[in-house]
Structure 1
Amino acid sequence: MVSSIDRELKWTNKAETEDNDDQVKLLVSAWDNLLLNNEDFLKKLEMNKSDVPNAPHLENCELISRVRERLDTRIANQTFPTWISGGDEENYPLTRIVQSEIWTHQHPLDCKNETVKFLVADWETLSIYGSGAQITAMTGLLAIAINENRVLVANYYNRADHDGCKGSSRGSWSCYFLPETSEACRKHAFAVARKREAWESGIVTGKQNYSSKVIWGGPIPKLWGKPWNYMKPTTDINGSLISRHRKMDRRWWRAQAVRYLMRFQTEYTCGLMNAARNTAFGKEAAEIVISAGDWRKDKKKKIRTEIEEQVWSNHKPWIPRPILSVHVRMGDKACEMRVAALEEYMRLADRIKDRFPELNKIWLSTEMKEVVDKSKDYGQWRFYYTEVVRQVGNKSMAEYEASLGRETSTNYPLVNFLMASEADFFVGALGSTWCFLIDGMRNTGGKVMSGYLSVNKDRFW
């Protein structure tokens, strides 16, 4: 299901021009109305759902969510992790092993066994913490849980406390991604946490049991040795590859933890992504479909076969490639890092284009209106970005998010984050936590060798 937010958020690209192809417009509209479950649109055209051709850029969210839930359930002879793309050499060292073992740690065979201990914690809720900071704090709590042999149970997530998240998913990370542990473990952990003796005996701990220093910068799990000592240098700053810095272990761990926490999207998030892709890429997808023939005349009865359900459904949705992710962080971040104008980011983009001349598409994410306005000066590039109200001036991120409302200020950054992580190349500012997390998704998403070009250093270099 697609929430009302999807109709408020408009997605566009800079190169969009007046399109006189009625067939393309009609097909994009048909897909859009299918996403919104608006069957009246098709009835007016004397069409059924089955008459609309498959959209290469969209997922069947109901089907894919069932598949993901099954893959996230402990069954005999299960092979993990199905959420990792690429081989070992295309990811951070030991990514496949680590992801599998985090999942096993977080999904005990018997949560009610008296030896199982828990760390129950809310997400950070203070307005000074942006989405990136909240996720980073949870990666620290996951590290503590693994070090102390506890199951992490994440409780209240304030950014999901809105009308788009229905039922039990309201106020929960599980609105957007499959939860960090099983439902049985969650229920048992909450039941145990209601008993004073469980806290006194240490069966349950919470954030109050640990200092901020330990949560944000404590020791990372050493179960897998020191794989960060042999990570490939693929980050470029000022024309040089950065091979070492003070917190290589933290960089490796946060990438692993974020990949685990975001391993599977829910049906709700799938719907958000479909809406984004249809508005951003729908016209190009429709042109591809129409090039194969007149879809309105070819009304053969479509029968879904086993290969469609069990094999092809696992293919990632189409997006125009190659595409470059550019995240421009400015605004109040100037108090923490050197901020750069769009021109610096585009110089790095041009360096990539010099090597890969077929690259001319950019997924642009930023909170600043001036950045979107300036992107229009780069006619050789095709920009895709969200048409959401952006900052003018240097108001705080907390003020900006408050002005958008909780649903919008949560949904559009997460969609941008996921779109960015699917890119082929990356430019950003690693002094930004958000860029740092995107880089982590790159390095556990089969894209180590895509490289990352940064306009500045993170605080540990």
Structure 2
Amino acid sequence: MKSLNRLVSEKALKLGNSFPCQICVVGILCGICLTSLFLAALTSLGTFELAAFSFSASSSAFLPYNSNSHIINMVSSIDRKLKWTNKAETEDNDDQVKLLVSAWDNLLLNNEDFLKKLEMNKSDVPNAPHFENCEVKSRVRERLDTRIANQTFPTWISGGDEENYPLTRIVQSEIWSHQHPLDCENETVKFLVADWETLSIYGYGAQITAMTGLLAIAINENRVLVANYYNRADHDGCKGSSRGSWSCYFLPETSEECRKRAFAVARKREAWKSGIVTGKQNYSSKVIWGGPIPKLWGKPWNYMKPTTDINGSLISRHRKMDRRWWRAQAVRYLMIFQTEYTCGLMNAARNTAFGKEAAEIVISAGDWRKKNKKKKIRTEIEEQVWSNHKPWIPRPMLSVHVRMGDKACEMRVAAIEEYMRLADRIKDRFPELNKIWLSTEMKEVVDKSKDYGHWRFY
């Protein structure tokens, strides 16, 4: 075996020293090297730009050196540098956007450690155009929710009369006055004290609908509605007395004086017997969910613009118009003003949805980190004029609510395809429309939305 090994080694050595074999080995090694370099180029940043430039440069070696080949090389070199420069700028801009969105996130969380790592103060972070100043807004809203401020018109209604349902301003003002008597200690003031619906079959939409029915009963019977326990506010986010109360999210439906008076009276058995206080148990479900609505304002629903489309036909009158009008008024009143807590939730939601676009807008105005090193002082007129600033969102935007799930037990549910056909019809009329706010409880709907590439979904 040793003799055989020695013989093979000697033959291999002689063969390896031959010129054809050396050429072959060098060729193989060069091939391996070129392949490795090519693969490395493909897997690095700027793959195609680098490959294209290398190909142009190496190809020119086979051309006679003249002005044309020189221009080809020069243009290729410039083109490569421009592409790499633009790519670097884009990457840097993306980093700036992410950094600013993170800074806004940490401002919402009051996380000063994040800003300290960046050697920044809160004042160094530029205003987020999609945020509300929750602390200031909360103080303003509480001040507006007083009798003095509400003697003129309901400040929570935006837009002109033609942009709202008929008589909205008058109705909102008078509901507020009804729910805020001048003297709640007066023995003639009666109350309707009721918990929100708590059965698991009721979503918050159904809960609100039931409360609009109770508000209608209270107005018809000249009672002050006092909403008590609200299960969706029974968590640690709702602090103090707002825990388990609608007032965690929106300003209370009545004054604090009326609430105290109502709960004090409700502890007396005689008050229930005499009818000073009533509750849900005093009314049937049919009355709560479908009873008569207040007729104090006539029939304003007769003047509503028709908005119901059935099988391509516009329905100008139907038997639910009065209830639609009333529920809109009641819901608008129950959501009169957001609390500071809800304002914070909305800011966080807006930053998740629109933060990247908002940051791009801010950054496009220049280097925000350099700009904000200068101390900014706002004048009194700026504070006054800008106090009514509304949070920025991308516009125009179409809101699409795809309800499926357990709704199928009540009605035929529509698939997202039907909604999108309607969305495309609207887009035909408004070609600038390309954004949709999609709300749904079905992941399947979210997944299918990716099939509509000509729409931007939030």
Residues 1:4 and 1:359: Cα distance change in structure 2 (over 3 Å): farther
Q: Deviations over 1:207-232 (max 9, x none)?
A: 11111111111110000001111211
Identity of aligned residues (%): 96
Q: How many residues align?
A: 384
1:240 is displaced (CA, Å) by 2.4
Matches of 1:142 and 1:86, distance apart in 2: 25
Distance change (3 Å), C-alpha of 1:204 and 1:302: same
TM-score by length of 1: 0.78
Within 2, Cα distance between the matches of 1:131 and 1:318? Answer: 27
- Deviation of residue 76 (structure 1)? 6.2
Between 183-192 and 11-20, the greater mean CA deviation after superposition:
11-20
CA apart distance, 1:177: 0.5
Deviations 1:97-151 (A, max 9, x none): 0000000000011111111110000001111111111100000000000000000
In structure 1, distance between residues paired with 2:422 and 2:161: 28
Following TM superposition, by how much is the alpha carbon of 1:239 offset from its aligned partner in structure 2, in angstroms? 2.4
For residues 293 and 375 of structure 2, the distance between their equivalents in structure 1, rounded to whole angstroms, comes to: 55
- State the match for 2:153 in structure 1: 80
Query: Structure 1 residues 107, 79: CA separation in 2 closer, same or farther (over 3 Å shift)?
Result: same
Q: Is the 8 A contact 2:125 2:372 kept in 1?
A: no
Distance 2:267 2:90 in 1: 59
Structure 1's 229 and 358: CA in aligned 2 closer, same or farther, altered over 3 A?
same
Output one character per residue of 1:398-457: Cα deviation in whole Å (capped at 9) or x when no partner. Answer: xxxxxxxxxxxxxxxxxxxxxxxxxxxxxxxxxxxxxxxxxxxxxxxxxxxxxxxxxxxx
Distance of aligned partners of 1:118 and 1:262 in 2 relative to their CA distance in 1, 3 Å threshold: same
Counterparts of 2:237 and 2:77 in 1: how far apart (Å)? 8
How far 1:160 moved relative to its partner?
0.7
Query: Alpha carbons of 1:202 and 1:362: their partners in 2 closer, same or farther (altered >3 Å)?
Result: same
User: Any idea what SS the aligned residue of 1:53 has?
Assistant: coil
Q: Judging by fraction of residues, say which structure has more helix.
A: 2
Which one scores higher on RCO, CA 8 angstroms, separation ≥ 6? 1
Shift of 1:77: 7.2
Answer yes or no: is the 8 Å Cα contact 1:329–1:339 preserved in 2. Answer: yes
Pair 35,162 (structure 1): closer, same or farther in 2 beyond 3 Å: same
Counterparts of 1:6-45 in structure 2, within 5 Å, are: 21-45=94-118
Task: Kindly state the Cα deviation for residue 19 of structure 1 after the two structures are TM-superposed.
Answer: 8.8
The answer for unaligned runs of 5 or more in structure 1 is 384-460
Q: CA shift at 1:328, angstroms?
A: 0.4
Name the stretch that deviates more: 282-291 or 316-325.
Answer: 282-291
Deviation at 1:304, TM superposition (A): 3.6
SS of the residue corresponding to residue 21 of structure 1 reads helix
Q: Deviation of residue 264 (structure 1)? A: 0.5
| Aligned counterparts of 1:122 and 1:65: Cα–Cα separation in 2 | 25
Q: CA deviation at 1:162?
A: 1.0
Superposed CA RMSD in Å reads: 8.4
Identify if the C-alpha distance between structure 1 residues 258 and 9 changes in structure 2 by more than 3 Å, giving closer, same or farther. Answer: farther
What do the CA deviations read for 1:312-350 (whole angstroms, capped 9, x no partner)?
A: 122210000000110001112111111111100000000
Q: Quote the offset at 1:12 in angstroms.
A: 29
2:231 corresponds in structure 1 to: 158
Residue pair 1:4, 1:164 contacting (<8 A) in 2 also:
no
Distance change (3 Å), C-alpha of 1:107 and 1:17: farther
Check whether the contact 2:213–2:291 (CA below 8 A) recurs between aligned residues.
yes
Q: How far 1:311 moved relative to its partner?
A: 3.2
**Cα 1:114/1:173, change in 2 over 3 Å:** same
Aligned equivalents of 1:94, 1:114: Cα separation in 2:
32
Distance 1:19 1:209, change over 3 A: farther
Contact 1:14 1:376 in 2 (8 A): no
Shift of 1:6: 46
Tell me how far apart the structure 2 counterparts of residues 378 and 314 of structure 1 sit (CA, whole Å): 36
Deviation of 1:7 after TM superposition, in Å, equals 42
Change beyond 3 A, Cα 1:77–1:255: closer
4+ long deviations beyond 6 Å: 1-19
Task: Give the 3 Å change call, closer, same or farther, for CA 290–15 of structure 1 in structure 2.
Answer: closer
Shift of 1:307: 3.5
1:10 CA drift (Å): 34
Task: Supply the distance in 2 between the matched residues of 1:150 and 1:121 (Cα, whole angstroms).
Answer: 12
The alignment's TM-score, normalised by the length of structure 2, stands at: 0.78
Shift of 1:2: 54
The 3-state SS of whatever aligns with 2:368 is: coil
Match of 1:61 in 2: 134
Change over 3 Å in CA distance of 1:156–1:49 after alignment to 2? same
1:8 Cα deviation after fit:
43
